[in-house]
Structure 1
Amino acid sequence: MDDDSRLARWRGHTEVPLVLASMIFLASYAIRVLGHGRLPEAVLDLCLALTFTAWAVFGVDYVICWRLSGQRLDFVRRHLLDTVVLVLPLLRPLRVVKVYEAVQRRHGRPHLSLHARVIVYAGMATVLLGFTGALAVYQQERGAPGASIRTFGDSVWWTCSTLATVGYGDVVPVTPRGRLAAVGVMAVGLALLGTVTGTFATWLLQAFSHEDDERSSGS
């Protein structure tokens, strides 16, 4: 059995467990951020332990995939997204998108067109990343001197306006880490917006081209 098939088998077996670990990571992180000052320290410590445990699971999976690939340092270059997700595990819930597609295939349900799937998945990714981005910014900004993002609602509002590339400027991050998280949210917003608009434009071009071909063949 070659390296690629072994890696594919491993990823097939670990796909669902890793999604569950991703959900545990996100839930424990959210509870710790939103429950700060409201929940008992024992609960917050448990959430922290769950967060680091899930992160360790991601690390073990990454190392095993690296060993099974047989690519050594080329694995990092060829699987850059996996490396980024390991460093920034808040992006891990995006695996839900892959599992959703796998479940659709297994149940034999009608597939959406390629363009519709891209738009739907981009929407799912936007919601997940918007929520995690709002959590990250709120964690860094709450209680900071001169901060305008003082509640999670403020953070959600800022995230929505940023992802929509509106940028009202009524609330902005002021801490270095908050601004670093903001840069990530901005980059993701631009990428997702470009994906959706590019896909929609491609669909329009194909539709108009098909109409032109039908008219030419009918004349």
Structure 2
Amino acid sequence: MEEDVRLLRWENRTEIPLFVLGLVYLAAYAVHVLAHGLPGAAHATLLAVIGAAWAGFLLDYVVRVRLSGRRFGVRYVATHLLDTVVLLLPLLRPLRAVEIYQVVQRRREQPRMSLYGRVIAYAGMAALLLGFSGALAVYQQERGAPHATIRTFGDAVWWVCETLTTVGYGDVTPVTVGGRVIAGFLMAMGLALLGAVTGSFSSWLYQVFAREGEVPPGR
């Protein structure tokens, strides 16, 4: 269909610039949160960069909806879940790096990454991005809060590692409403990532054993 061709052309042209814009967004947010000693004008500039980057993401999302020839609704969101997630949570925009790889492979007419490769790549990048972004977000919420146990960015990183791996020692915990909302999201994502990696790895092992004749027929 003509809409599909136009949408694919748009994605091929904008994927890399948007990925770079995502890195700019992440860097600006990180400096805004971590650089306490910057003057107010510098923080205002960083906030302007963050806002402009998000406006770029929103424009891209609207264009994708128009080029797809579909109305925006629950069905569109369900079929374009990653696009919607990175619009609502721009810190995760670099997750589309795997999609960039797919775009480059299509341009060169080379085989796309296997399903298992994509799962592992997504899971690895998601863990790193979620960890860094979650640490920044919870640190911003918790620093200076009364009775807070997450007082430094190092505390936030340690807490995120506990949360994503579902260990949860309980030595540091968020006390603010915003921090606890972030915690709930990270818990859910940690379980999802572990499930995706475990399932993909188990399926890959099953196929390896099946090729070697170590799996009984009919299973």
Q: Fold match, TM over 0.5?
A: yes
Deviation at 1:81, TM superposition (A): 2.9
Question: 1:208 aligns to what?
Answer: 209
Question: 1:89 aligns to what?
Answer: 90
Question: 1:48 aligns to what?
Answer: 47
- The CA deviation string for residues 119-177 of structure 1, in whole angstroms up to 9 with x for no partner, is 23311221111100111111101001111001000000000111111111100111111
Match status 1:15 vs 2:15: yes
Question: 2:29 aligns to what?
Answer: 29
- Conserved 8 A contact 2:209-2:215: no
Question: 1:163 aligns to what?
Answer: 164
CA distance in 2, matches of 1:44, 1:97: 31
What amino acid does structure 1 have at the position aligned with 2:211? H
Deviation at 1:105, TM superposition (A): 6.7
- Conserved 8 A contact 2:19-2:96: yes
- Conserved 8 A contact 1:137-1:181: yes
Deviation at 1:69, TM superposition (A): 1.1
Percentage of pairs with the same residue: 59
Question: 2:59 aligns to what?
Answer: 60
CA distance in 1, matches of 2:181, 2:46: 24
Residues 8/113 of structure 1: CA separation in 2 closer, same or farther (3 Å cut): closer
- Conserved 8 A contact 1:97-1:125: no
Cα RMSD (Å) of the superposition? Answer: 2.4
Question: 1:4 aligns to what?
Answer: 4
- Conserved 8 A contact 1:140-1:175: yes
Match status 1:148 vs 2:149: yes
Deviation at 1:64, TM superposition (A): 0.9
CA distance in 2, matches of 1:45, 1:62: 26
TM-score by length of 2: 0.88
SS of match in other structure, 1:21:
helix
CA distance in 2, matches of 1:81, 1:111: 19
Residues 150/204 of structure 1: CA separation in 2 closer, same or farther (3 Å cut): same
Query: Superposition pairs for residues 55-204 of structure 1, below 5 Å?
Result: 55-74=54-73, 75-103=76-104, 114-204=115-205
What amino acid does structure 2 have at the position aligned with 1:211? E
Structure 1: gaps spanning 5 or more residues: none
Deviation at 1:70, TM superposition (A): 1.2
CA distance in 1, matches of 2:215, 2:166: 39
CA distance in 2, matches of 1:16, 1:112: 18
